[in-house]
Structure 1
Amino acid sequence: MKTISELLEEAAARAVPVVRGIDDGQLAEGTPCGEYDVRALLNHLFTVIENFRALAVKGSTDFSRTDDVVTGDWRGRFDDATALLVKAWAEPGAEEGTPGSMGMPARTVGLMVLGDLTVHAWDLARSTGQDFEPDAAVVAELGPGLEELAPQARQMKVFGEPFPVPPGATAFERALAVTGRDPGWSPTPRCP
């Protein structure tokens, strides 16, 4: 079984090119997360990465931050933020105990950020017309992890109701569907 840091490293390697591929002119585009446009989703993802990095080292978190950090060299800062996230989860003891106030095992908390990084990279890729193929080892851990978290995530309004997928759906399509996403989502064309 791979460590959380190894999985996050694979997920970051797939997410970073997506973020680098976002043009500033696409920041107002819609996303599969109905309440977020691309800019808001990037801001959310930065907040998630920062807080889960703190959880890895048993630090305090603030998920309520709503700062707009998509300014200046935000793509470079995303590279740095994901590298720091991977490093934090590679530290001795990161996968031990119950970090923060979530009351969950550290590995489960790590799988949560793995889910955010992977699913939101897909969201951003879909929103901006990019290809995205998650790492197979990440998907293998993510699918069961999201299934386990789904009931609580729905109560907290983090996941929507499961989206129906056909029997031949891929493991990643099933994982997306568990979060309430339509794996076939595409942007609505704008009127000229």
Structure 2
Amino acid sequence: MLKLSDMYEQAATLTVPIVAAVRDDQLADPTPCTEFTVRDLLGHLFAVVTEFEKSARGEPMDFGGTHDWLTGEWRTDFATRVDALRHAWMAEDAMSHPSTMLPREVAAQLPPFDLTIHGWDLARALDVPLVVPAELTEAVAALSETLAPMRGGSGMFAEAVPVPADASDFDRLLGSLGRDPEWSRTAR
């Protein structure tokens, strides 16, 4: 199984360049997350990265309120925040802080989970290729299975989408999370 530090490294390597590639004229475009435009999805990723960095340091998270993350040099800011998040979770004391919602080991994996899945969402919205390494797919799928009992009615994920029997492991994961692996912005 992939080590936590490698999960962060691989998820960041996938998603940071995609965020950096978003053009301002694409911010209103749809994404595979039907409730999110590209702007909304970027805002969600900024919030995840920022709030889970706080959690790694033992501070309370606050997903409430609104914040316009896409100001100034936001692409560079995102990369900086992802790096800070990785360092915060790799700190010696990160796992020793109390956790209120989930076991600490599970909470620590949520940011790379979001970076990977929403990295795919952004890649699809921008119509750019994304290849998720097998090890990262396996780690994200394992976390998805851990979270499965909490999904029911939580609104965390959409209903599962059927995928072909010969679908890749990542496409099967996407389907289980309510995403159509064949989603295309040009078909919208």
What range is the shorter-chain TM-score in?
Answer: over 0.9
Could you say if the C-alpha distance between residues 94 and 21 of structure 1 is closer, same or farther in structure 2, counting changes exceeding 3 Å?
same
Match of 1:160 in 2: 158
Residues 5, 87 of structure 1: 8 Å contact kept: no
RMSD: 1.6
Are 2:47 and 1:47 aligned?
A: yes
Q: Give the AA of the match of 2:45.
A: L
Q: Give the AA of the match of 1:89.
A: W
Match of 1:136 in 2: 134
Are 2:109 and 1:111 aligned?
A: yes
Match of 2:182 in 1: 184
Q: Which runs of 5+ in 1 are unaligned?
A: none
Could you say if the C-alpha distance between residues 173 and 79 of structure 1 is closer, same or farther in structure 2, counting changes exceeding 3 Å?
same
Match of 2:69 in 1: 69
User: What is the CA-CA distance between 1:148 and the residue it aligns to?
Assistant: 2.2
Q: Which runs of 5+ in 2 are unaligned?
A: none
Tell me the distance in 2 between the aligned counterparts of 1:45 and 1:19: 10
Q: Give the AA of the match of 2:51.
A: N
Tell me the distance in 2 between the aligned counterparts of 1:59 and 1:81: 16
Residues 4, 95 of structure 1: 8 Å contact kept: no
Residues 57, 97 of structure 2: 8 Å contact kept: no
Q: Give the AA of the match of 2:88.
A: A
Structure that is richer in helix per residue: 2
Q: Give the AA of the match of 2:179.
A: R
Match of 2:144 in 1: 146
Give the percent of matched residue pairs that are identical in Structure 1 and Structure 2. Answer: 38
Tell me the distance in 1 between the aligned counterparts of 2:63 and 2:119: 19
Q: Deviations over 1:3-50 (max 9, x none)?
A: 323211111011011111111110000011111100011011100111
Runs of 4 or more consecutive aligned structure 1 residues displaced over 3 Å after TM superposition: 95-98
Tell me the distance in 1 between the aligned counterparts of 2:171 and 2:78: 25
Tell me the distance in 1 between the aligned counterparts of 2:25 and 2:16: 18
Are 2:29 and 1:21 aligned?
A: no
Could you say if the C-alpha distance between residues 96 and 177 of structure 1 is closer, same or farther in structure 2, counting changes exceeding 3 Å?
farther
Number of equivalences? 188
User: What is the CA-CA distance between 1:114 and the residue it aligns to?
Assistant: 1.6
Could you say if the C-alpha distance between residues 2 and 95 of structure 1 is closer, same or farther in structure 2, counting changes exceeding 3 Å?
farther
User: What is the CA-CA distance between 1:127 and the residue it aligns to?
Assistant: 0.3
TM-score (norm 1): 0.91
Could you say if the C-alpha distance between residues 132 and 55 of structure 1 is closer, same or farther in structure 2, counting changes exceeding 3 Å?
same
TM-score (norm 2): 0.93
